[in-house]
């Protein structure tokens, strides 16, 4: 056979020794670092039957442990939530005294104060709309600056 036809080279003496050690470990006659992994893979793929009495004992012990630790978790969680709520309430009370009042904003109102005379039956609509838009824009700017703290 030529090198082109052979897909893999012959194993080295070190590889042969490692394979022999792994085989012996899998047969129960020694130890190898990969034997535990191989055993875990075998049990994961095809687990052996467990004795029903042992299974019942393990399940009862797990449920008892979960029940004991679960009640502590609930008490700790509620205690922590109560402490955080109390701290937040104290922080609000302490910082509330120094808060400035919000500025008073211009309110929506009627346009009657913008006009002295009754509207004519025809014409002047554009001028009236312009006057209303200008007044509302002025109110909007005043509100915007008041919210930003500019006086």
Per-residue pLDDT tens digits for 23-78: 998 888 888 888 888 888 888 888 888 899 999 999 999 888 876 665 677 788 88
Residues 55 and 93 in one domain: yes
Residue range of the domain that includes 44:
16-48
Task: Find the helix or strand (DSSP H, E) in which 19 lies.
Answer: helix 13-26
Provide the domain count of the chain: 3
**CA 113 to CA 6: how far, in whole Å?**
102
Note whether residue 139 is domain-resident: yes
**CA 38 to CA 45: how far, in whole Å?**
11
Q: What is the pLDDT of residues 87-125, one digit of tens each?
A: 998 888 877 666 567 667 767 777 777 777 777 788 888
The answer to whether residues 35 and 22 touch, using CB atoms and an 8 Å cutoff, is: yes
The answer to whether residues 22 and 32 touch, using CB atoms and an 8 Å cutoff, is: yes
Two tokens at 132? Answer: 């209303």
Instruction: Look at residue 2 and tell me whether its pLDDT is greater than 70.
Output: no
Give the pLDDT score at 99. 59
């Amino acid at each position: 056979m030529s090198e082109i036809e052979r897909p893999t080279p012959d194993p080295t003496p070190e590889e042969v020794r490692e394979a022999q050690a792994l085989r012996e470990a899998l047969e129960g006659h020694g130890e190898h670092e990969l034997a535990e992994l191989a055993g875990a893979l075998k049990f994961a793929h095809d687990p052996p039957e467990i004795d029903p009495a042992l299974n019942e004992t393990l399940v009862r012990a797990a449920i008892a442990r979960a029940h004991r630790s679960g009640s502590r978790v609930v008490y700790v969680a509620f205690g922590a939530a109560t402490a955080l709520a109390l701290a937040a309430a104290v922080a609000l009370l302490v910082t509330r005294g120094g808060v400035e009042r919000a500025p008073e904003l211009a309110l929506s109102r009627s346009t009657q104060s913008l006009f002295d005379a009754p509207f004519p039956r025809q014409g002047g609509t554009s001028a009236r709309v312009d006057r209303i838009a200008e007044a509302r824009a002025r109110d909007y700017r005043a509100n915007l600056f008041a919210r930003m703290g500019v006086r």
